[in-house]
Structure 1
Amino acid sequence: MKRNDLRRIDLNLLVVFEVLIQERNVTRAARRLSMGQPAVSGALRRLRALFNDPLFERAGREMQPTPRAISVAQALGPALDCVCSVIGNTKA
């Protein structure tokens, strides 16, 4: 993917993904994000389409990440940290 292609993606989905990885529960993720559960479920649907992977599979009351989700999470955490750092350093 080229950087210019990023404009077709809602980058807020990446924040939802990160919280889902941490919480492993849509309802708890929604609460942390101050979003409704249906909105987080919708974001998860869009994430699954974006990554062409189920990302999470239900296991009782939790959602277990797929190997692809774990791989994405390992790369995404540092990337989001970097974005936060850059934006934090540019605010006056």
Structure 2
Amino acid sequence: MKRNDLRCVDLNLLVVFEALIQERNLTRAAEKLSLGQPAVSAALVRLRRLFNDPLFERIGRRMVPTSRALRAAQTLGPALDCVCTAIADTRV
């Protein structure tokens, strides 16, 4: 994907993805983000489309990440940290 293609990506989905990776549970991720469970569920549908992967498989009450989700999380975590730092450093 080229940077220009990011215009078509809702970057808020990446925050939802990170919460899902951390919580491994839709309801807890929703609570962490102060969102409703249906909103997080809808975001997961969009994330699956974006990544062209199921990302999480339900096993019992847990959401188990796919190998694609785990690889993406390793990259996205530090990337989101960098974005937060860049924005924080520019605030007056």
TM range (shorter): over 0.9
CA distance, structure 1, for counterparts of residue 25 and residue 57 of structure 2: 11
Q: Alpha carbon RMSD of aligned pairs, Å?
A: 0.4
Q: Alpha-carbon deviation of 1:48?
A: 0.2
Match of 2:39 in 1: 39
Distance 2:74 2:63 in 1: 17
The letter for the 2-side match of 1:21 is I
Identity %: 74
Q: Structure 1 residue 77: deviation in Å?
A: 0.5
Unaligned runs of 5+ in 2: none
Runs of 4+ in 1 over 3 A off after TM superposition: none
Deviation at 1:2, TM superposition (A): 1.1
Normalising to structure 1: TM-score of the pair?
A: 0.99
Q: How many residues align?
A: 92
Aligned amino acid, residue 84 of structure 1: C
TM-score by length of 2: 0.99
Query: Alpha-carbon deviation of 1:56?
Result: 0.2
Give, in angstroms, the shift of residue 62 of structure 1: 0.4
Tell me how far 1:28 sits from its aligned partner. Answer: 0.4
For structure 1, the residue ranges without an aligned partner over 5 or more in a row are: none
Letter in 2 for 1:29: A
CA distance in 1, matches of 2:5, 2:48: 18
**Letter of the structure 2 residue corresponding to residue 26 of structure 1:** L
